[in-house]
Amino acid sequence: MTHPFLPLTARSRDEAHRAATPLELFFDLCFVVAVAQAGAELVHAVAEGHAGEGILNYAMVFWAIWWAWMNFTWFASAYDNDDVLYRVLTLVQIAGVLVLAAGVSRAFDGHDFLVVYIGYVVMRLALSSQWLRAAHHAADAGERTMCRRYAGGVVACQAGWTALLFAPEDARPWVFLVMALAELAVPVFAERDVTTQWHPHHIAERYGLFTIIVLGESIAAATVAVKSGVTENDALGEVLPVAVGGLLIVFAAWWIYFVVPAHDRLTSNRQGFLWGYGHYLIFTTAAAIGAGLEIAVEEAVGKAHVSTLTASSAVTVPTALFLLCVWLLHARYFKVGIAQQSVLPLAALVILMCTFAGHWAVLAAGLVAAAAVAVGVTLTATNPATRRTTDTRH
Number of domains in the chain: 2
**Residue 220 pLDDT:** 84
**Residue 2 pLDDT:** 67
- Could you tell me if 32 and 143 lie in one domain? yes
Q: Of 165, 190, 215, which residue sits at a domain end?
A: 190
**Residue 336 pLDDT:** 73
- What is the Cα–Cα distance from 169 to 109, expressed in whole angstroms? 11
**Residue 67 pLDDT:** 94
Q: Is 251:216 a contact under the CB 8 Å cutoff?
A: no
- Could you tell me if 245 and 100 lie in one domain? no
Q: Is 304:229 a contact under the CB 8 Å cutoff?
A: no
First-to-final CA distance of the chain: 34
- Report in angstroms the alpha-carbon separations of 379 from 323, 338, 385: 18, 11, 11
Domain that holds residue 95: 22-190
CATH of the domain at 322: 1.20.1410
**Residue 259 pLDDT:** 84
Binned average pLDDT, 10 residues per bin, the chain of 394 residues: 80 86 91 87 86 88 92 93 93 94 86 90 95 93 95 95 90 92 94 90 91 88 79 78 92 90 73 86 93 90 86 95 91 76 92 94 95 87 58 46
**Residue 1 pLDDT:** 58
- Could you tell me if 179 and 236 lie in one domain? no
- What is the Cα–Cα distance from 251 to 185, expressed in whole angstroms? 35
The answer to the question of residue 94 being in a domain is: yes
- Could you tell me if 229 and 165 lie in one domain? no
**Positive or negative, the Cα torsion across 171, 177, 178, 182?**
positive
- Could you tell me if 41 and 169 lie in one domain? yes
CA 325 remoteness from chain centre: 12
DSSP-assigned letters across all residues of 164-192 = HHHS-GGGHHHHHHHHHHHHHHHHHHHTS
- Could you tell me if 177 and 213 lie in one domain? no
**Residue 385 pLDDT:** 57
- Could you tell me if 143 and 278 lie in one domain? no
**Residue 246 pLDDT:** 92
The answer to the question of residue 218 being in a domain is: yes
